Amino acid sequence: MPAAESLVALLASELRAEPSGEQLSLAVARHLQRQNQFVDLSPERLAELRELCEQAVAHLFDVMEGDSQEEAVSEAVHLLSQEIQDWFARREPGANVPSTRQQVVCSEYSATLQLSVLGLDAETLREPVLDLGCGEHAELVVALRQRGIEAFGIDRVARPAPFVLLGDWFSRRLDPETWGTVISHMAFSNHFVHQDRRGGPEAALYAQKYMEILRSLLPGGTFAYAPDLPFIEEHLPEDEYAVERVSVRSEDGELLPYAATRVTRGE
């Protein structure tokens, strides 16, 4: 379940600004993803959430005609927070969204850290660059574009920008031979590992998308990601793809139990 106190605080803050239903649903989605990066925010789930939020906003405006704004907001927050809790009870029967003390936190990392972990140099990146799961603020994409690098991002909770597409990686088809570099730091492959360990049908969808990403590379292009995916990397044809793994260390210098991978398509 979503952590009730933080959800209520978010809803109260957002509803006081009298948002549209879509604005409110995106704010809630960002909040949920920050709590648990593996929460299911597929287009279908986001549509359900948007409908709940649109109903709440409509109710808020109706109530405000007779009550003060604060009374109306308080009532709307109470109703919507309970509806979201019930929605998760229906859609996440395994209680996959943990409490505040058990969050599977989704963080945004600095551009410098991401490039360092992946063993990439901004000066030698092959363009154009795509960041899959670029995060709410698309920090890497913004940093690369400030250097004059043609870079774009995709994320299901990204804030609006002309160089960022709102959506998940399954909702956007990657055309063959389009990208010089595809980057996904603690995003696509992290979810792939999660689904593979669960053993559900989603793992096959990730495998298909992985191969679509590789086909989207220009000759000589690279897909760089962390954590590594040895269970699929070992099956890549050596005459088509070169696989390099880079050890990853914590800030304290401790060797972490996963590597970063760079898969480069042959010329």
Higher-confidence residue of 177 and 82: namely 177
Instruction: Tell me what pLDDT residue 242 has.
Output: 98
pTM for this model (two decimals) = 0.68
User: Would you call 258 helix, strand, or coil by DSSP?
Assistant: strand
| Tens digit of each residue's pLDDT (9 = 90 or more) over 231-262 | 999 999 999 999 999 998 877 778 888 899 99
Instruction: Tell me what pLDDT residue 150 has.
Output: 98
CATH 3.40.50.150 applies to domain 111-265: yes
Domains of the chain, residue spans: 4-102, 111-265
CA 153 to chain centre: 11
18 phi, psi to nearest 5 deg: 50, 60
Integer Cα distance of 50 and 47 in angstroms: 5
Is residue 191 predicted with pLDDT exceeding 90?
A: no
Please, what is the average pLDDT of the chain?
A: 83
User: What does the DSSP 8-state code read for residue 128?
Assistant: S
What H or E segment, with its residue span, contains residue 226? strand 217-226
The pLDDT confidence band at residue 71, using thresholds 50, 70 and 90, is confident
Instruction: Tell me what pLDDT residue 102 has.
Output: 38
The answer to whether the CB of 153 falls within 8 A of the CB of 128 is: no
Instruction: Tell me what pLDDT residue 38 has.
Output: 65
* Mean pLDDT across 24-50: 75
